[in-house]
Structure 1
């Protein structure tokens, strides 16, 4: 098992805000998804430029998400919804070819409060040495 790590700076959109946007204007929701996915893709591309690479023999990957939020106001399930943006960002950046069962294994979520530095730390756990 090998662990590769990357960081998405800042908070991502939570499920409640996304659903509210979708109900008010479907184009607004599409814009939010595009913006959040792009933010993730940029951070992932930066990690790739620093050497992050995934090889086919390491698939499927298990994901450990560490969600650092500024406070405890949002429910954890609403926060973790942002996995969608992260996985789509991995596709957009070219880190993984697809986000199906062959590439994506299991998820584990951990939640912390960091008022000064909200972010998402993702550990990609390979199943090979």
Structure 2
């Protein structure tokens, strides 16, 4: 039996929430593309050199400063994570063939907000779509 590879990537700070993206877009027309570029590059650099996976299950743990933001609002940053993983060459794409299960967990850490992404290689052949 082949051992599963597991890689952990830590992204410092917080990614923009859905509400932050929407509010900023109301004041500046191209803010989403600026956010996308900035945060995709951040994830890219955090994931660089972590290897390449054909298919992964993903656990994202959001360490938030406090509990003021709704979980569904926080999870919008997932887009930047998957795009950054692609940019770093960790995954070829973020479609059904490359991404298996996605689990979100939420914790608080006032002193050290961050996002921890755990990638577990899927080796059972269930990636065929």
Fold shared by both chains (TM-score > 0.5): yes
TM superposition shift of 1:127: 2.2
- Between 1:112-121 and 1:33-42, the stretch displaced more is 33-42
User: Residues 108 and 96 of structure 1: is their aligned pair in 2 closer, same or farther, counting only changes over 3 Å?
Assistant: same
1:21 match: 24
Q: Which ranges in structure 1 are unaligned for 5 or more consecutive residues? A: none
Q: How many residues align?
A: 121
Picking from 81, 98, 101, the partner of 1:103 is 98
For the 8 Å contact 1:2–1:128, the answer to whether it is kept is no
- Write the distance in 2 (CA, Å) between the matches of 1:2 and 1:32: 31
User: Counterpart of 2:62 in 1: which secondary structure?
Assistant: strand
1:88 match: 83
For the 8 Å contact 2:13–2:115, the answer to whether it is kept is yes
User: Counterpart of 1:26 in 2: which secondary structure?
Assistant: coil
TM superposition shift of 1:100: 0.9
1:1-129 pair list within 5 angstroms:
1-45=4-48, 48=49, 52-56=50-54, 59=55, 61-128=56-123
For normalisation by structure 2, the TM-score amounts to: 0.87
For the 8 Å contact 2:10–2:46, the answer to whether it is kept is yes
TM superposition shift of 1:30: 1.2
Structure with higher helix content = 1
User: Residues 27 and 104 of structure 1: is their aligned pair in 2 closer, same or farther, counting only changes over 3 Å?
Assistant: same
TM superposition shift of 1:24: 2.6
- Write the distance in 1 (CA, Å) between the matches of 2:5 and 2:84: 22
Displaced runs of 4+ in structure 1, greater than 6 A? none
User: Counterpart of 1:18 in 2: which secondary structure?
Assistant: helix
User: Residues 93 and 118 of structure 1: is their aligned pair in 2 closer, same or farther, counting only changes over 3 Å?
Assistant: same
